């Protein structure tokens, strides 16, 4: 049976179609989920994509966190459904309490748009098993509020439990503490990262096809479930 992966669209979302394309590239069925519907339509996993949900008013993701669709997303996450938050989606997951910490303005106060090298730190999550430990992957990064911050005890917990999934390799592009680019929850089912793997699924249209591994990893996780 083909896995069904939902992709949420909020007002201001702009990378939902790219995320759906990545899902299809990986061999799964992409299912559109609307922010105003408290219904996940029977999907097996969910992607919260990038963009500027609700215009980034108040804080990035602060309004989207209360959208009707997020109720069942939070419930599904509690039951172990794989959830991936990309860029604004990462911010939304943090606002929703599914991941710890927060994303703040980049350290130089400029929007950063570049192809960014990441180092894979954790290959056991639902979204990272296709990678080798320590591998460096090239993924586009485009954000103005991508600096990851957390309380010292939270950082220590993330590091101590191996919950940093991706780390910026080379120069830190946004001032993220500990060069953190992506993290996971304690069970390895919910992952958030600032770079955009959906823009790196085909070397013809992106800097690499390194991002495809995240979507293939999720399908593997669903097959094993």
Catalytic residues: 87, 196, 198
Element (DSSP H or E) covering residue 172 = none
Maximum distance among all alpha carbons in the chain? 47
Radius of gyration of the chain (CA): 16
- Contact criterion met (CB below 8 Å) for 96 and 65: yes
Query: Which neighbouring-strand residues pair with 115?
Result: 140
Q: How far apart are the first and last CA of the chain?
A: 13
Q: Give the separation between CA 148 and CA 99, rounded to whole angstroms.
A: 12
Pairing of strands 180-184, 45-48: unpaired
Q: Which two tokens stand for residue 113?
A: 């748009």
Tally the C-alpha atoms within 13 A of residue 82's C-alpha that lie toward its C-beta.
28
Q: Give the separation between CA 4 and CA 103, rounded to whole angstroms.
A: 29
Task: Tell me the three state secondary structure of residue 225.
Answer: coil
């Amino acid at each position: 049976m083909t896995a069904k992966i939902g992709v949420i669209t909020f007002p201001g979302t702009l990378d939902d179609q790219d995320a759906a394309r990545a899902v299809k590239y990986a061999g799964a069925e992409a299912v559109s989920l609307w922010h105003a519907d408290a219904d996940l339509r029977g999907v097996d996993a969910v992607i919260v994509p990038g963009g500027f949900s609700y215009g980034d008013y108040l804080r990035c993701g602060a309004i989207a966190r209360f959208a009707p669709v997020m109720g069942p997303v939070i419930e599904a996450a509690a039951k172990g459904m794989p959830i991936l938050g990309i860029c604004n989606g990462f911010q939304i997951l943090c606002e929703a309490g599914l991941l710890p910490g927060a994303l703040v303005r980049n350290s130089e106060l400029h929007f950063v748009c570049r192809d960014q090298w990441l180092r894979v730190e954790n290959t056991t999550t639902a979204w990272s098993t296709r990678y080798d430990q320590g591998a460096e992957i090239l993924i586009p990064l485009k954000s103005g509020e991508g600096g990851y911050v957390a309380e010292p005890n939270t950082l220590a917990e993330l590091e101590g439990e191996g919950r940093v999934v991706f780390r910026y390799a080379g120069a830190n592009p946004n001032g993220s503490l500990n060069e953190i680019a992506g993290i996971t929850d304690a069970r390895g089912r919910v992952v958030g990262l600032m770079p955009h793997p959906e823009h790196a699924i085909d070397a013809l249209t992106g800097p690499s096809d390194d991002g495809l591994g995240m979507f293939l990893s999720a399908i593997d996780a669903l097959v094993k479930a």
